[in-house]
Amino acid sequence: MPDLSINFAGIKSPNPFWLASAPPTNSGYQVMKAFDAGWGGAVWKTLGVPVVNVSSRYGSVNYRDKRMMGFNNIELISDRPLADNLREIEEVKKRFPHHAVIASLMVQSRQEWHDIVRDVTNAGSDGIELNFGCPHGMCERGMGSAVGQEPEVLQTIVEWVMEVARIPVIVKLTPNISDITEPALAARRGGANAISLINTIQSIVGVDLDLFAPYPIVDGKGSNGGYCGPAVKPIALNMVKNCAQHPDVRLPISGIGGIETWRDAVEHILLGASSVQVCTAAMHYGFGIIREMTSGLEQYMTEKGFHTIDDMVGRALPNVKHWEDLNLQYKVTASINPDKCIGCQLCYTACEDGAHQAIRLQPGTRTPEIIDENCVGCNLCSLVCPVEQCITMERRDDGTQHQTWKERTAADDIPTTFNDERAGGRHHWVPEPAAALGKEKEKTLPGKARLYTPEPEKQVVNE
Amino acid sequence: MAEYATPTTEQEFAGNFAQLKPLMSNSEALLESSRCLFCFDAPCIKACPSGIDIPLFIRQINSGNATGAARTIYEANYFGNACGKVCPTEVLCEGSCVYTATGAKPIEIGRLQSHATRKVMDQGKHLFQPGAATGFRVAVVGAGPAGISCACELRKLGHEVEVFEARSQPSGLTLYGVAPYKITNEETLAEMAYLEAQFGFQVHYNHLISTRADLEKLENEYDAIFLGIGLGHTSALGLPGEERENCVGAVEFIEQLRIRQEQTAVGRKVVVLGGGNTAMDAASESARLGAERVVLAYRRGKEEMGAYEFEYDLAKGVGVQGLFNVAPLEILGNGKVEGVKFVRTAVLNGQVQPVPGSEFVEPCDMVIKATGQAKQTSFLHLIPELQLDGKGRIVFNPGTGQTTNPRYFAAGDAANGGAEVVNAAADGKAAAHGIHTFLTR
Ligand SMILES: Cc1cc2nc3c(=O)[nH]c(=O)nc-3n(C[C@H](O)[C@H](O)[C@H](O)COP(=O)(O)OP(=O)(O)OC[C@H]3O[C@@H](n4cnc5c(N)ncnc54)[C@H](O)[C@@H]3O)c2cc1C
Ligand SMILES: Cc1cc2nc3c(=O)[nH]c(=O)nc-3n(C[C@H](O)[C@H](O)[C@H](O)COP(=O)(O)O)c2cc1C
Ligand code: SF4
Ligand code: SF4
Ligand code: SF4
């Protein structure tokens, strides 16, 4: 049995799954319930200054019938009294001494930071997370992302905190910045013990077409909110990777953003996270999802022969390269398995209109055919095909050649003009522009629309 | 053993004849429309006789544009709502959905179609209006799917249209023939009212066109005449005892069922003769009316029945028993039907032959003959130059609907010999374009 427990910058927890600082960690009641259900840790809903919230507060991006692909909120930090929160932290820690309780904090002055750090430490917190991320409501008051976007201010505040901190300090980064490693480096310079990312992304999830107002709507008006949920995972993964690969950051990373299943968590871990945090998925499905997450992670580790989480952390990092380091000699082309094909012809229309005209239709069957010499190996067809493993990308080079753009540049072997022979090999044939006109119109003009074209009788015979 | 108690109230009738394709809720429509792959050159479109752009209307439903979806449907087929419920989708659009090849359920195209069209009907949203008047006048005989579709399209093209209908209500066999568990009378008539309100054609009900004089009047007053008269009564079998009380034709039995609903009388033991879809319907309907035993008797083997497999499954599902390779010899009884005398058959060199000495009697108190509808040949012979083919079908140009008498056009069952509502609706509409070309050329 693999060991799921972690020691994250000195914070121990029975598994790497923490609830992110958000509504699911708003009260002792919720955190106890989550620990009871199997969560390893919880970052308490951010504590700090008194706030008021609006209603409504959340908006969603739905994809077809799938709800909350993306999610946003215009909520602020905890609107419950600090004393109540401290008392509940204490109670939770008494009942769950081996689970991780991390207090998320956001205040303004040096004195306030000192006071609150002491308060949560005295309450028994295992660690502190500094919320420099909230992209709405708090930044207007000089907190949240207003801090996260200014590396120098961030560093100063981290320094204030470190003056009194006796437990590990995590700095939570905002993604609303062009280079995530800048605030990460500032956190390190300030003496932080770890970083967590990402917080929510500034967003408008949609506009009400009748009220002409952005969601969520508060009395006919709206505001930009913070975006999260499955849709943000790719952005989070990239930022986690950037911090993990940066030679000077060298801090443990708590990965956050779009984690809903064990797979999402493993991806964050393979790119350098050593704990993961979850918000939207718990808000959508409740705490019960933890069972799928831990069992999936355990199964994966068993199959891969990983004994501890540390065995996996950053395992994909060596394979994340700059474009110029990729092998230009590697060549794949698409291959259709006719036994699996169901004849939707999505691959055909995708390649024809959206890629390289490398798929043709064949008479007598709905299964299209790849035109090998036109296929540039872009993957599009295999991505749109609705049947698992029906279109596969097959390797065509013999695997003996390896040459990158960087190597070619060094060897002065890069094309300098368009007709340069060295630019060859990746070109492909394109049809004459005018050949597009009217092409397959009868297939895109539905049904009886064909009947009413000028030669009705001829058309009918064809049917 | 009867599966159904004889219905005595409207509610019980509705229960026994519960809709096979009930209206989809908004959530169901969202879920189902989300599954559609939006295939290129989609096979479902090709399988639809009216050529509805199915992926387009499904996407319109999915993106919250049900009105646009309804427009897409109605632009191709004026019986869009009815077709969604009554079409044999298993062998048409849904049967060709690419999902069938994955082993997954095909998209429920029919129910999505009825969902979208029902919405605009309920909201009274008008999608069409008559075209600018051309001054031409067209007479439409028969207010069935063919006639009504032709009338709608003619009005859209700006021609004046008057419809002559023998019955008191529109939609032909959609109302008088199709099984009540496929569509209710209310739904059928709501669509007719919706179309009439938009296109404003005149329907003269209870107006049978039957004599040469009637036809001459039409020929004198109208520029073209469209025949959407469908088929006739159940053909006679020529069996001794066929005249006995409770020996009825399937079409006539079903017409009573659609009009009288729970007040329709059915036997306790019913024998249905025939192996086509109408036989399956009549058998199912007898069972749902509370008959204790329903026997479906067919001259050949089960596999050779003309009925769609799913229609036979439906009948079996309500307790109908199949009796194959038997031919009726005589309807027995004393005034009323008391049984059917059968002889077993065998197929020799492709021919059905009686097996001598194998006669037996199947006792029953009702016989329903589902052995095909007669053509209205004697009426059609009153039209000069109008040719019928060997099977009594009107000879016509499938692209234009034009018959051998250039001023007469035809579509639907009268021309194709008996198909589905969707064929009549599609071809009736195509004929309107044929008439338009003929009038305006
Ligand atoms: C029992 C049964 C079940 C069926 N079930 C289905 C089903 O589930 N799904 C499906 O798609 N199809 C079904 N059909 C077939 C479908 O109903 C027909 O194909 C379709 O109705 C044909 O349309 P039509 O307009 O050609 O003729 P009809 O629907 O027959 O309409 C003809 C109209 O013309 C009128 N008329 C006839 N002669 C004259 C005249 N001389 N003067 C004035 N009026 C006249 C009639 O009263 C009638 O209203 C079924 C048919 C039957 C018999
Ligand atoms: C309603 C809501 C409130 C949040 N409040 C806080 C907060 O107080 N402090 C904080 O650090 N992050 C807060 N976040 C951000 C989350 O902790 C997390 O970083 C973000 O949701 C991305 O993770 P996810 O995609 O798994 O949900 C909040 C998120 C949501 C949805
Ligand atoms: S991989 Fe790209 S270019 Fe090749 S067939 Fe597929 S879509 Fe076309
Ligand atoms: S996308 Fe896949 S299933 Fe569809 S036609 Fe292409 S190969 Fe066949
Ligand atoms: S075949 Fe099926 S999946 Fe494809 S467009 Fe038609 S309904 Fe949608």
Write down the ipTM of this complex.
Answer: 0.90
- Dump pLDDT digits (tens) for B393-411: 999 999 999 999 999 999 9
B30 at A interface, C-beta within 8 A: yes
Residue closest by Cα to atom 6 of ligand 5: B44
Residue A449 pLDDT exceeds 90? no
CA dist B376 → A445, B104, B395, B397 (Å) = 38, 44, 14, 19
Nearest bound ligand to the CA of residue A175: 2
Residue B396 DSSP symbol = B
The C-alpha atoms of residue A349 and residue A355 are separated, in whole angstroms, by 9
Quickly state the pLDDT bin for A136 (edges 50, 70, 90). Answer: confident
Q: Can you tell me which atom of ligand 2 is nearest the CA of A73?
A: 1
Helix (H, G, I), strand (E, B) or coil at B249: strand
Chain-chain contact of A459 with B56 (C-beta, under 8 angstroms): no
Closest CA to A198 of A230, A181, A171, A173: A173
B137-232+375-440 folds as: FAD/NAD(P)-binding domain (3.50.50)
Q: Which of A62, A63, A64 to mutate to test the interface with B (most CBs of B within 10 A)?
A: A64
Q: Which pLDDT score is estimated for A459?
A: 36
A428 pLDDT above the threshold of 80: no
Chain A partners of B62 at a C-beta cutoff of 8 Å? 64
Quote the CA–CA distance of A246 and A210 in Å, as a whole number: 47
Q: How many CB atoms lie within 10 A of CB A363?
A: 4
Q: What is the maximum alpha-carbon separation in chain A?
A: 89
What's the whole-number average pLDDT of chain A? 93
CATH 3.50.50.60 in chain B is located at 137-232+375-440, 247-369
* Dist CA A266 CA A299 (whole Å): 12
Whether residue A452 is predicted with pLDDT greater than 80 in this model: the reply is no
Contact A66 B34 (CB under 8 A): yes
A92 vs B146: CA distance, rounded Å: 75
* Rounded Cα distance, A133 and A148, in Å: 6
Per the CB < 8 Å rule, is B98 touching A344? yes
* Residues pairing with A66 in the sheet: A63
Distance CA A231, CA A254 (A): 19
Domains belonging to chain A, first-starting first, are 6-319 (3.20.20.70), 323-437 (3.30.70.20)
Strand residue runs (E) in B119-260: 137-141, 160-164, 202-204, 224-227, 247-249
The pLDDT tens digits of the residues spanning A165-199 come to 999 999 999 999 999 999 999 999 999 999 999 99
Residue ranges of alpha helices (H) inside B263-308 are 277-288
Q: Is omega for the bond preceding A216 within 30 degrees of 0, making it cis?
A: yes
| Cα–Cα distance measured from residue B370 to residue A220, given in angstroms and rounded to the nearest whole number | 64
Q: Which of A251-260, A409-418, B24-33, B258-267 has the lowest mean pLDDT?
A: A409-418
Pocket flag, ligand 2, residue A46 (CB < 6 Å): yes
- CB within 8 Å: A65 and B48: no
Q: What is the pLDDT of residue A458?
A: 39
Q: Which ligand is nearest to the CA of B112?
A: 5
CA of A120 to the centre of ligand 2 (A): 20
- Which B-chain residues 41-60 have CB contacts (< 8 A) with chain A? 41, 43, 45-46, 48, 50-54, 56
With a 6 Å cutoff on the Cβ, whether A368 touches ligand 4 is yes
Contact status of B426 with chain A (Cβ, < 8 Å): yes
Alpha-carbon gap, residue A214 to B48, rounded angstroms: 41
Q: Is A347 a catalytic residue?
A: no
- Cβ of A440 within 8 Å of Cβ of B400? The answer is no
The 3-state DSSP class for residue B15 equals helix
Q: Where in chain B is the domain with CATH 1.10.1060.10?
A: 21-123
CATH architecture of the domain covering B247-369: 3-Layer(bba) Sandwich (3.50)
- Measured between CB atoms, does B38 come within 8 Å of chain A? yes
Mean pLDDT of A413-442: 81
Question: The pTM is what?
Answer: 0.92
Topology of the domain covering B21-123: Fumarate Reductase Iron-sulfur Protein; Chain B, domain 2 (1.10.1060)
Amino acid at site B35: R
pLDDT at A454 over 70: no
Q: What is the mean pLDDT of chain B?
A: 96
Alpha helix stretches (DSSP H) within A355-422: 380-384, 405-410
Give, for ligand 2, the residue of A199, A201, A254, A259 to mutate: max count of ligand atoms closer than 8 Å to Cβ.
Answer: A199
Residue A455 has pLDDT above 80, yes or no: no
Q: Looking at A134, A341, A347, A351, which residue is catalytic?
A: A134
Q: What angle do CA B97, B99, B102 make, to 5 degrees?
A: 140
Q: Note whether B41 contacts A345, CB cutoff 8 Å.
A: yes
CA A173 to chain centre: 14
Residues belonging to chain A with any Cβ–Cβ distance to chain B shorter than 8 Å: 64-66, 342-346, 348-349, 366, 386-387, 440, 443-444, 446-452, 456-457, 459-460
- Judged by DSSP in three states, B314 sits in helix
